[in-house]
Amino acid sequence: MKKIVIANFKMNKTPSETKQYLISFLSKYEDCKADLIFALPYTSLAVANFMLEGRQIALGAQDVCEDDEKGCTGQISGKMLAGSGVSYVLVGHSERRAKFKEDSKMINRKIKNGLKNRLSIILCVGESLADKNTMKTLATLKNQIEEALKGLYENELENIIIAYEPVWAIGSGKTPLPKDIENAVKAIRKVVEEDFSQKAANEIRIVYGGSINAKNVSKFATIEGLDGILVGGASLDSNLFLQIINAMV
Ligand code: PEP
């Protein structure tokens, strides 16, 4: 199985900066190395969709509205994303949970809306520093996953990737020990087994995200049960991101 590598540009790059980045990146990247997804700001989706035409690289968005038809000035629906060449969407990123008060019910509705519009979901979950310090990591993961996946059919899980992203690791330069990531991955599979089935638990794809860079990436390449990585800040430099991908495949 190819490793999944997801770039999350967060709130970075104008459309012309994204274009320059992709010109440089695509001149050096061999398709098919990884299952590669660029999760970009809305404003860069059109240019990226044009530039990725014919390449085996998927386009992702960083959020989706939970409704399709209500008055939602300023929001972007799943239908609009799907019509813009997007096939993946991040849901439940910790920055959105914290800054935009996205709760588990909203996250569940966003997932359902994305799936309804044939988007695949990258569901972000992870413990806070306080959870970690009080040994509540696994309980937090269980709660976040159960709430997010409530009411889904088992066959819909093939369109879901779970991104384990400890809140304290995002953008901090700190990363968990490989053993701790392995334990979190096992715990996530256990929750899926309890709520769905052993088969679903074995098959659900799980990636790790949080302060991955070109220097530390190799330690994430061999973690048992881990299907790939999600890279924020270090994906913004095309050369560094290529090094990261090369270290994973
Ligand atoms: C993220 O924002 O999802 C992320 C993984 O960020 P960083 O790699 O910068 O920690």
Pick the residue whose CA is nearest to atom 3 on ligand 1. 232
Looking at residue 238, its pLDDT comes to: 98
Single pTM value for the model: 0.97
Residue in 76, 57, 58 with CA at minimum distance from that of residue 67: 76
User: Which residues form the pocket of ligand 1, taking CB atoms under 6 Å from any ligand atom?
Assistant: 8, 10, 165, 170-171, 209-212, 230-234
List 66, 102, 127, 165, catalytic entry = 165
Distance 70 CA to ligand 1 centre (A): 32
Which residues fall within 8 angstroms of residue 33, CB to CB, at 6 or more apart? Answer: 2, 245, 246, 249
Q: For residue range 63-105, what is the model confidence (pLDDT) as tens digits?
A: 999 988 778 999 999 999 999 999 999 999 999 999 999 999 9
Distance 152 CA to ligand 1 centre (A): 27
Q: For residue range 35-70, what is the model confidence (pLDDT) as tens digits?
A: 999 999 999 999 999 999 999 999 999 999 998 877
Residue in 60, 56, 57, 76 with CA at minimum distance from that of residue 68: 76
- CATH number of the domain enclosing 194: 3.20.20.70
Which residues fall within 8 angstroms of residue 223, CB to CB, at 6 or more apart? Answer: 178, 181, 182, 185, 208
Number of domains in the chain: 1
Euclidean distance between CA atoms 34 and 56, whole angstroms:
9
Looking at residue 204, its pLDDT comes to: 98
**Residue 120: domain span:** 4-248
Q: Tell me which residues of the chain have a pLDDT lower than 70.
A: none
List 93, 95, 102, 127, catalytic entry = 93
Looking at residue 1, its pLDDT comes to: 85
Residue in 17, 20, 23 with CA at minimum distance from that of residue 41: 17
Dihedral sign for Cα 137, 241, 119, 68, please.
Answer: positive
